[in-house]
Structure 1
Amino acid sequence: MRKILLTTALVLPLSGFAIAQEADNAAEEAVENTAQATENAAEATADAAGDAADAASDAAGNAADAASDAAGDAADAAGDAADAAGEAADDAADATENAAEDAAASADNAADEAADAADAAGDEAADAMDAETTEADAAETETMEAETMEADTMEADAEAVDAEAAAEDAEEAALEAEMANSDKIAREQSMNELRVDWITGASVTSPDGDSIGDVNDLILDTENGSMIAAIIGVGGFLGIGEKQIAVPWDQLTVNYDAEEITTELTQEEAEAAPEYVFREREAAPAPAPAAGDAGMEGDAAMETAPEADAAMEAETETEAETTQ
């Protein structure tokens, strides 16, 4: 084991020296290679610089030639443009002059036409004014004529109204004259004629001055229109239990001026007098029934007939008892 270790210890230094020697050789070789590469690069740079200088010189020469050519071309173009501008200016001047002349001529023509139009318009306006004046005069004349006709019409209407009113007045006067002599009316109250407005409701007194009752109604003769009797309510209190007696008109003394009525009956005789019997009023004729309702109304009349007969019999019996 010790031998191995000793051998290893001897071998390691020797290996290190060999490695170091190899490293130095490699370094020297690298330096030489670098120097050679630097030299080669310098030569290549010098060659490239020479080539670039030659190329720049050639380019500068070519550019100078091109600039000179361009300047010549530009000068030629400027000359041509100057010539064209001069010609255009001359043409423009000629065109402007021609246009001014044309415009002046057009303006003169327009002025002449405007003057002619103004003259025509003035003539038309004058004609229109004359026509308007003529129409206004005609309209005024028509208006005056219409007003005159209207006034005449109104006057005629007024005369017609007056004539109609006069005719009506004459007709009314003729009718009044006719009725003044007509037997259809009574013209004034005679001494023997009485107004009965105050008689109905008036008190009737006996010869002793006692009130026997008030006049409730009057009985007239329909054949000759004479007064038959006065219906007087006798007895009772406030209309209850009152009976109505009829006193012949010739048995009453009527003081028209004093509005007093007296009778020869005493109060006792009036209370003992029988009650007046009124006749039944006849019913007004019924309207003619329609064709469809004739049968129904006939049946209804037949049904109500017995009831009407019974009512009449009962009323007759009542009147008989009262008379007794």
Structure 2
Amino acid sequence: MRKILLTTALVLPLSGFAYAQTAEAPAENAADQAAQAAENSADAANDAATDAADAAATAADDAAEAASDAADATGDAAADAADATADAANDAAESADAAADASADAAADAGDAAMEGEAAADADAAEAAALEAEMASSDKIVREQAGNELRVDWITGANVTSPDGTAVGQVRDLIVDTDNGQLIAAIIGVGGFLGIGEKQIAVPLDQLSINYDAEEITTELTVDEAKAAPEYVFRERAAAPAPAPADPAAPAADPAAAPADPAMAPADPAAPADPAAPADPAAPAPAN
């Protein structure tokens, strides 16, 4: 029994020590694990921080490079735009210079043409003035109507009266002597009505009294003598010589040449007669 007690007395302390050691071991292990976990967490945090810093630095570098590239691209575009603007400005300046030169040349040409035109006009004016001075003293023309001279227009169509004031007829035409250029007779229409059925007689011009520029024309013939006088006989009008036949070797007429003077054209036989026009000396006399 004593051995049992002794054994028990020895075993119990040892068991308590072992138990104590056994209890202390898990605590130490937990502390170690906690420390290890803390260390691991610290390492992970350090690694994460390092990774984040590296990522931030990389992003910053990328952003800086992108900004630099953008700045380079913008600068290149701005430079290109500046170059294009400068080229356009140079082209516009060259065009303006060319236009200015063309305008100056045109103005110079216009000035030269104007000077030439003025010189030609001055020469023409001088020539015309010289010709006018020459013609002013030429005997080829008559410059002024004298007091004793009459116009045919005043005489033709004027009424002719007898010495007692009775109407004899009207002056229809005048006869001119081409040898001496003098008027020798007046053709007077006698009888009829409004020129129809009248007889034309010729009265020497020196037998007529023409007063007040043909406002009053009188004859020594009475009305009966005028009616009994023979009718004046007109001669046939001489025809102009026919033009020479065209030379087949001559050049054709220029269609751009000025047309012939219509005043020189022959009268249209189909045109109605002008009652105010003087009678044609070559026309046949109307029947009594």
Identity %: 62
Q: Please state how far the C-alpha of 1:230 moved relative to its aligned partner.
A: 0.9
Residues 1:282 and 1:151: Cα distance change in structure 2 (over 3 Å) = closer
- The aligned runs of 1:82-97 (5 Å cut-off) are none
Q: Please state how far the C-alpha of 1:282 moved relative to its aligned partner.
A: 4.0
Alignment-derived partner of residue 263 in structure 1: 219
SS at match of 1:183: coil
Alignment-derived partner of residue 132 in structure 2: 176
Q: Does 1:190 align with 2:174?
A: no
Unaligned runs of 5+ in 1: 1-96, 291-318
Q: Does 1:277 align with 2:224?
A: no
Unaligned runs of 5+ in 2: 1-51, 247-284
Alignment-derived partner of residue 30 in structure 1: none
User: Which of 152, 167, 188 is equivalent to 1:232?
Assistant: 188
SS at match of 1:197: helix
RMSD (Å), alpha carbons: 3.9
Taking the aligned partners of 2:196 and 2:70, their CA distance within structure 1 comes to 120
Residues 1:198 and 1:164: Cα distance change in structure 2 (over 3 Å) = same
Cα deviations by residue, 1:20-76 (Å, 9 ceiling, x for unpaired): xxxxxxxxxxxxxxxxxxxxxxxxxxxxxxxxxxxxxxxxxxxxxxxxxxxxxxxxx
Larger radius of gyration: 1
SS at match of 1:186: coil
Q: Is the 8 A contact 1:194 1:256 kept in 2?
A: no
Residues 1:256 and 1:122: Cα distance change in structure 2 (over 3 Å) = same
Structure ranking higher in helix proportion: 1
Alignment-derived partner of residue 209 in structure 1: 165
Q: Is the 8 A contact 1:231 1:246 kept in 2?
A: yes
Residues 1:259 and 1:289: Cα distance change in structure 2 (over 3 Å) = same
Taking the aligned partners of 1:171 and 1:259, their CA distance within structure 2 comes to 43
Alignment-derived partner of residue 199 in structure 2: 243
Q: Please state how far the C-alpha of 1:227 moved relative to its aligned partner.
A: 0.8
Q: Which amino acid aligns with 1:195?
A: R
Alignment-derived partner of residue 16 in structure 2: none
Count matched residues: 195
Taking the aligned partners of 2:94 and 2:238, their CA distance within structure 1 comes to 83
Q: Which amino acid aligns with 1:277?
A: V
Would you identify which runs of 4 or more consecutive aligned residues in structure 1 move more than 6 Å?
A: 105-108, 286-290
- The aligned runs of 1:1-324 (5 Å cut-off) are 112-239=68-195, 241-257=197-213, 259-283=215-239
Q: Which amino acid aligns with 2:72?
A: D
Relative contact order (alpha carbons < 8 A, sep ≥ 6): 1 or 2 greater?
2
SS at match of 2:210: strand
Q: Which amino acid aligns with 1:185?
A: I
Q: Please state how far the C-alpha of 1:188 moved relative to its aligned partner.
A: 0.8
Taking the aligned partners of 2:222 and 2:184, their CA distance within structure 1 comes to 20
Q: TM-score, normalised by structure 2?
A: 0.53
Q: Which amino acid aligns with 1:265?
A: L
Residues 1:135 and 1:270: Cα distance change in structure 2 (over 3 Å) = closer
Q: Please state how far the C-alpha of 1:187 moved relative to its aligned partner.
A: 0.8
